[in-house]
Chain A
Amino acid sequence: MSQNETHVLPLKIYLLIFAVLLVMTGVTVQVAYVDLGFMNTVVALGIACFKASLVVLYFMHLRYSSSLPKLFWVAGLLWLAMLITFAMSDYLTRQWIEQPQGWARNRGISIEQVAKQ
């Protein structure tokens, strides 16, 4: 059974991954001070996924396991993508239809004014 073989990685690799994780944390913090518009979230989530993948691949040895655990890792990422994609199908298309203004428009006031009151 090849999965039962333990893969002993040199300490150097662990330290390297650890350093990369720290650097990426720093990058996340720094990027948070830069306004990238809608890319704010995309960048933050991208870095988070990258870091999580490093932990899973090296610290949890997924890189050296058989294809079945890898398949489940891919499934996890795919499911996250499904969650985001279909939720965005709501958020990205909400503005396509003009929102009904109701009584406010009939009286010649805008929704923003109503919200202020």
Chain B
Amino acid sequence: MSALTGEDAPPQAPRQHYLNVTYGVRSWLLTLDHKRIGLLYLASITVFFLLGGMFAVMIRAELVTPAGDLLQAETYNKMFTMHGLVMVFFFLIPSIPAALGNFLIPLMIGARDLAFPRLNLLSWYVFIVGGLFTLFAVVQGGVDTGWTFYTPYSSTYSNSAVAATAVGVFITGFSSVLTGLNFIVTIHKMRAPGLTWFRLPLFVWAHYATSLIMVLGTPVLTAAVVLVALEHLLGIGIFDPKLGGDPVLFQHLFWFYSHPAVYIMILPSMGVVSEVISCFSRKRIFGYKVIAFSSLAIAVLGFLVWGHHMFVSGQSVYAGMIFSFLSFFVAIPSAIKVFNWTATLYKGSISYDTPMMYAMGFIGLFTIGGLTGLFLASLAVDVHVHDTYFVVAHFHYIMVGGALMGYMAAIHFWWPKISGRMYPEGWGRFSALVIFIGFNLTFFPQFILGYLGMPRRYHAYPDEFQVLNVMSTAGATILGVGYLIPLIYLIWSMRYGPRAGSNPWKAKGLEWETTSPPPTENFLTTPLVTEEAYAYAAPDVEEQEGARVG
């Protein structure tokens, strides 16, 4: 750490940067600067994260005892529904792309802003309006359908604020599409001179793949919501068998978006891990092109596996076989990435700063999450563990152990760039450790619970499951503390942290060549790119490496 930040003169902040160029609420709410819009997103998703976290607290508190004593069954249904809804649509999906991608992509490609700054601001407002509808639904008494809105819970038999929530999800989808479109056009059209496709940071490749999913997948979710509304308002038979519809069709449409949506959450994190692993191993990333293309492969293959959520839904077993087979297939590009990161570490000069600790956590937890996904993709095993805590544990290993660890790595890695100040490194490592321990204590017992047969989405359970549930709740408490510590010290560091200087990690990449915080126009002169990404190794070592790796 000291070797990385040690400079002769203490670093100074630039006299003028994007944070102090103008002041006042108006200057933020009407800003067209991608960096400020990124921070608007960052603040909003933090609020949603805390809200979603509060619902999780209620769930875990109820499950301390086998009897359904703290919450009634109906209230409990609402708690897990709103936990899922807020965390998926209002935290995880916008998290890295809309907040950090927004901030970093123009900086990484040497551009002054995204291609459509006004569209970018619009996407934030659309997101907020969608969020307000969902909050309104919470105030109205909440939703109890599960975040998946399966018909007929959400149609014929809906008995809660489904309409307001559906409108919220419908609106938020547009914000996602706008962000994705903006990224695609920006990455195609606004790269600095010399920045060819294969010199792009892998963070940018990951966001390109993510944007494709956002643009090609989200409209299907929107259409599914509209169809539910049309059936409800006009009586057109789409999902209701009484009218000639098929409830399973809703699951097809929903998962066509929502399985790829998992990759909207995880791909950006994978991009972050590529950046961080390479920087803190002081080594060029192993197999650059393979990692880049595996992101695209995930984006495409991810659309062909949705039926693995429907093995016991009444879907044809033949369709089930196809979806099962393709689900095994989609594991390959993910595994390629994990092996490449591991190979990057090999013989690297590794330092364990906070971002690196989160990135290492990501690799381990994502691997467990991915491998248990293969259990669930197997037709016969899935019949046993379907809708049990095994599934809950699996996707939390992906979404929290994977996506959220990557998000934390990213926040710490680029915090000096965003705020111009360093966070306290000791506290950073400490909280990374707390989060890792808390996470595993929360979710590992859930694998066992699920395998033993505890179903998800019930507020009561048989006595013999109590020990594991208490462990899980204890872990969740530790995890909660682990998230509060960074929240406190990051806010503290905005004012009191030591000045970071433009490149505290001695990292490669255009974003580190401008000041911290960057000026509004990002670069005073357009940068010219003459080398590959991640050119960390000394020239002579680089030649040997090049000869061996190709």
Contacts and interface: CB of A to CB of B under 8 A. Distances in A.
Interface of A: 68, 75-76, 79, 82-83, 86-87, 89-94, 96-97
B26 interface: no
A4 to B, nearest CB: 11
The 7 closest A-B pairs by CB, nearest first: A90-B319, A93-B318, A93-B316, A94-B316, A89-B319, A87-B252, A79-B216
B316 A90 contact: yes
A82 B326 CA distance: 13
Interface residues of B, number: 22
A25 to B, nearest CB: 18
A75 B216 contact: yes
Nearest to B313: A90
B327 to A, nearest CB: 12
Interface of B: 188, 212, 216-217, 220, 248-249, 252-253, 256, 303-304, 306-307, 310, 315-319, 322-323
B477 to A, nearest CB: 42
B248 A90 contact: yes
Contact of B256 (A83, A92, A96, A97): A83
A92 B322 CA distance: 13
Given A89-B316, A90-B316, A79 B303 contact: yes
Contacts, number: 46
B160 to A, nearest CB: 28
A68 B319 CA distance: 34
B317 A97 contact: yes
* Residue of B220, B318, B323 with most chain A CB atoms under a 10 A cut-off: B318
Contacts of A68: 188
Given A76-B216, A83-B220, A90 B303 contact: no
A82 B303 contact: yes
Contacts of B304: 82, 86
A75 B303 CA distance: 13
Contact of A93 (B249, B306, B319): B319
27 contacts: A75-B212, A75-B216, A76-B216, A79-B216, A82-B303, A82-B304, A83-B220, A83-B253, A86-B304, A86-B306, A86-B307, A86-B322, A86-B323, A87-B256, A89-B307, A89-B316, A89-B319, A90-B248, A90-B252, A90-B315, A90-B316, A90-B319, A93-B318, A94-B315, A96-B316, A96-B318, A97-B316
Nearest to B317: A97
Contacts of A76: 216
Nearest to A68: B188
Given A75-B216, A82-B304, A87 B318 contact: no
A76 B184 CA distance: 14
Contacts of A79: 216-217, 303
Contact of A89 (B188, B249, B256, B322): B322
B306 to A, nearest CB: 8
Given A82-B304, A96-B318, 4 more contacts: A86-B304, A86-B323, A89-B307, A94-B316
A83 B216 CA distance: 11
